[in-house]
Structure 1
Amino acid sequence: MGKHRKKRPLRLLAAAAVSAAATLGAASCLKPGTLGANLNTVLHILVEVGALTLAAAVLEARGLLRRIGIVFAPLVRFSRLPASVAAAMTAALASGSAAALMLADAREEGKLGRRDMIYGALACSPVSIFMFNLTVMFPVLAILKTAGMWYYLASYLSLAAMLLCVLCTARLTAPCRGVPPEYAAAGAEVAPWPQAFRHGLARTGRFLLRVALLTMPVLLWTAAAVQHGVFDFTGKLPAGVRDYLPPAAWTVFAARFGGMLSAAGAAAELLKQQLLSTPQLVLVLLAGNIINGVIRTLRRGIPVSLGIYPGADGMLIATISTALRAGMTLIALGITMVVIHYES
């Protein structure tokens, strides 16, 4: 134990040196005048992660997350995952990063195995995406009306299918074991407020350091890759796909990269002029979800996950989560294409 503690400062110094070198290298590859905006993104991530991690850690130490997590308890029990996953899913209602930090911390403390941590992270993903979508859903519904309703119905059914797939797979692959210790201790000791805050500050500091060392260089390198056209593959779609939709649809597809509200604004006028049908609009928005999901994972999901989860688990979780969501969205997209085919 003593030897490991002596090695810890050396590892930290080595990690800081590698991170600094990688950050400087990435900064030198960025286009002039863009470094400030990217550093601002990193700062925003650190502030968000810090605040929500502290809040989640204090609530967890006080036992409040376990009480709220009763909503997710039946789902977690069905999947045969530990009860701490239900608490993480509750935290995911506020922030996916806070949920990820709870799972990674439980893994580090030996409360969760690697398998349970990965399944827990995959179960939290659709919950956090659902809450993120809610922030813009009502303005979009007001603009697009019926088309918006069909789009969100398809999106949320895809997320529900994704969650069901994760929970069923976790259940089918669960090892034979008794009641996890977390269930037995669900109503056990509650830390006093001062101790809860100390616990929260310690956890927050530990993870902020890890996130800063890993996220900053990876995010800056990704930004540099985007600026140099590494991910410019959206214009290289097969001719059959380009011919399937009217030219007006590609206006909405391009606007989708500026966010749902900008896409809704463009689509409303096209629907009004009957240049686009409701199924065609739903198809474009679902396709935009897949492309946006991949780009968001490359630009932010992987850098943040690598900073939170140990080893290569962050890359694995981000990749599987994105692939699962894309797969479920593809099914919804296929159904929409069938509707368009029969309409025409």
Structure 2
Amino acid sequence: MVRFGIIGTNWITERFLQAGRTVEGFEAAAVCSRALERAEAYAAQHGVPHRFASVEDMAASGTVDAVYIASPNALHAEQAIRCLDLGLHVLCEKPLASNEFEAAAMIEAAKRNGALLMEAMKTTFLPNFEAIRDNLHRVGKVRRVNASYNQYSSRYDAYRAGTVLNAFDPTLSNGALMDLGVYCIYPIVRMFGAPKSVKANGVMLESGVDGAGSLLLQYEGMEAVVAYSKITHSTVPCEIQGEDGNLVFDKMSEPETVEWRNRRGEAETLTRPQSEHTMRYEIEAFMELVRRGATESPVNSHEVSLATIRIMDEARRQMGLVYPADRNRP
């Protein structure tokens, strides 16, 4: 049994709970919120037995082994470091932090305390992502990756009407790159490592965050083209192009269909069975690491998290996208 404390009360924590309850040994033990009334209401709604107004009280209670952090991006580092220093393992929603400085401090806290810190990027644990990686050799020498995640945000309607919700608030380290672009960048880094160079463009909104953007990641002999948006929508598939064939899949964040194609027009379906509760695979992996006493995931490693946040830091620098959290960097 791994007992989880939940930090954050929103739609993604509901998905987490739904997925976790399909995993043997998962227990939702506590909810933590600075507003105790909110924690109590959320815990009662979802059948979670314990509620706390502080991480310190939750850790001291002895009711949890690990925490799942799904608070706004700007709070990830502070909350994760406090949890790690209190001896709790941490599964932290993507992006891991606001910037590289914060991410490095989180990783240092994990090492200092011998605790597990893993970024909750579900994509890299999905059976269909594994299908892509397992068949990568079939395309021959990779020359280009086309990765996109363009999903019109329901919160953008409110923005257009004059109300800036969390998704478009720079004080929370939000915006399209952090919310959607990361789903393209992280899997690319997992497959191909850190790029040699980054070129970025962004469509900036008046609130101070990006509504859409694109990145060109340059590798030795290949490039990765990333397009993301919260202000437009697209159903264009993603593709890995090689000299001997292509891998085509429907979505970068959550591939549901995967196909291999060659230049002669021949195609083969590579799609694997995959749970509708797509977060369950990262939860299973995290729980197994906790049981083994591991302090780092070999899949969602600290190295992958740092390489990803460095790319996003550089992209933001080129776009002129600055967060209040950046002021804490040396």
Q: Same fold (TM over 0.5)?
A: no
More strand by share: 2
Give the number of the structure whose alpha-carbon radius of gyration is greater: 1
Higher relative contact order (CA 8 A, sep 6+): 1
> What TM-score comes out, normalization by structure 2 length?
0.28
Higher-helix-fraction structure: 1
